[in-house]
Amino acid sequence: MIGKRFLTVLALGGAAGLGLHQDAANSELVAQVKALETRVTTVEGYLAAQVAADKALITAIDTSVEQGFTAGINFEARKTLVAAWKARSKSAAAGVPGGKAAAAAEAVDPRIERRRR
């Protein structure tokens, strides 16, 4: 018959082994989470750069319109093109993870707002 002392030693040894396995699994999960956090930061940086580029595009479009881009032959087609470019840039910036970058893209240049009135 197996002694009580042997069973106690066996149980403690098994628990210690299980604890070591859990520590290894936890450290692996921590490493995976850190890698994912780094990746998310990289993706958010990329998206913020895209929002900034779209904001610059909208500013360039507005400047082009001020300089007479939509005037001349077939100005309706040019106005349609300008509207499409702006809509595309605004939709690309909408809902970007990271919050602040997306909010910056939604800001309207005060000079443009004055012209709309």
Query: What b-and-e string marks burial along 12-30, b requiring 16 or more CB atoms within 10 Å of the CB?
Result: eeeeeeeeeeeeeeeeeee
- Listed by start position, the domains of the chain span 4-116
Task: Report pTM.
Answer: 0.50
- The pLDDT score that the predictor gives to residue 33 is 92
Q: pLDDT tens for residues 63-113?
A: 888 888 777 777 888 888 888 888 888 887 777 776 554 455 455 555 555
* 115 has pLDDT over 80: no
- The pLDDT score that the predictor gives to residue 113 is 54
